[in-house]
Amino acid sequence: MPAERIDGVAIAAKVRAQVAADAAALIAEGVVPGLTVVLVGDDPASAVYVASKEKACTAAGMRGETIRLPATTPEGELLAVIDRLNADPAVHGILVQMPVPRHIDAQQVIRRIDPRKDVDGFHPVNAGKVLIGDADGFAPCTPAGVQVMLVESGVETAGKEAVILGRSTIVGKPMAALLIQSGKGADCTVTICHSRTTNLAAHTRRADILIAAIGKPEMVTADMVKPGAVVIDVGINRVEDPGAPKGYRIVGDVKYDDVAQVASKITPVPGGVGPMTIAMLLANTVRAARLAHGR
Ligand code: NDP
């Protein structure tokens, strides 16, 4: 029987409805949750991401602002903008859209953001809080969204073998940190694999929950998946397709049609993890606003 498709669009809509309700409750108390996104340069993909973040904020009744800076902005000037936002009580969440131009040190930028406003969850303070299981921390939006998807789709995680492909600081590592905590959507036994892992398939075949975040189009094939496993595909890859209207199409890291014959549940690409990322950004921003006002 083909796997059940986990609908990221529907789960994200549920998260966003809750965010809108939480935002409305805060607004009734005189606090308008606000997210400021800083975009340096004119990368077209980044411009699209930033516009969708601002739109999502507004749709949830929150204040969404974008500060656009030229690609030539010196690092010091960007840091000064962050300092100003850190000090502004109307700004609850700050996000600097990555990648920043090469002359700017991204780590320096991330570290400059007040951890209480770091709704991307990239600051080392938040990475540490997520690792120790401190509920005060902000988890990066993509792995946090995956965890919500597991819970919302009724996946039992306790005691399960979770295998994560990819060890990036924005997906793989925080995903592992979330799944090893005790509690809902967690309590897993976690393995992280990366490009130096030998015999990758031996690891993936053990997985009750397989999470792919490697950025390699359709690399995970059916023979790598244990029958009945839950497969979460984080990958977003553009592949050439002369037959497609734009000349390309978007695929994940998992060969969906084949793996769906083996897995019990699976996320599609697009329409899986992607929509969860913005939903979790909004959720983090509302929580930042609540914490800032002692609610
Ligand atoms: P990175 O490039 O930062 O990390 C990729 C990871 O995959 C690395 O740890 C790398 O190992 C590992 N890897 C690469 N090739 C292999 C291989 N053949 N076997 C095993 N491991 C391998 O990517 P990100 O974590 O930023 O993103 C991963 C994917 O998720 C991308 O497709 C990205 O577009 C997508 N993404 C989607 C989001 C969403 O909202 N849905 C958000 C963020 C990312 P090593 O460390 O050894 O190099």
Which residues make Cβ contacts (< 8 Å) with residue 176, sequence separation at least 6? 162, 164, 190, 192
The pLDDT-based confidence of 172 (bands split at 50, 70, 90) is very high
Residue closest by Cα to atom 35 of ligand 1: 235
Q: What is the amino acid identity at position 134?
A: D
Measured from the CA of 197, which atom of ligand 1 is nearest? 20
**CA–CA separation, 22 vs 89, rounded Å?**
19
Q: How confident is the model at residue 46 (pLDDT cuts 50, 70, 90)?
A: very high
State the average pLDDT over residues 11-28. 98
For the residues 49-53, what does the mean pLDDT come to?
A: 94
Percentage of the chain surpassing pLDDT 70? 100
* 237 residue type, one letter: N
H or E element that contains 277: helix 274-292
Cβ(172) – ligand 1 distance below 6 Å: yes
Tell whether the model's pLDDT for residue 50 goes beyond 90.
yes
Distance (angstroms) between ligand 1 centre and the Cα of 173 equals 11
Q: How far apart are CA 258 and CA 246, in angstroms?
A: 25
Mean local confidence (pLDDT), 222-235: 98
Query: Which tens digits make up the pLDDT trace of 81-120?
Result: 999 999 999 999 999 999 999 999 999 999 999 999 999 9
Residues marked active site are found at 53, 97, 120
CA distance 96 to 80: 13
- 97 and 50 in contact (C-beta within 8 Å)? yes
Ligand 1, atom 16: closest residue by C-alpha: 195
pLDDT mean over 126-152 = 97
- The two three-digit tokens of residue 111, written as one number: 């570290």
Structure confidence at residue 295 (pLDDT): 83
Enter the pTM of the model.
Answer: 0.97
Mean local confidence (pLDDT), 166-179 = 98
Does ligand 1 lie within 6 Å of residue 274's CB atom? yes
Q: Cite the DSSP H helix spans in 123-242.
A: 124-132, 141-152, 172-179, 200-204
Backbone angles phi, psi at 40, to 5 degrees: -110, 120
Which amino acid belongs to residue 179?
L
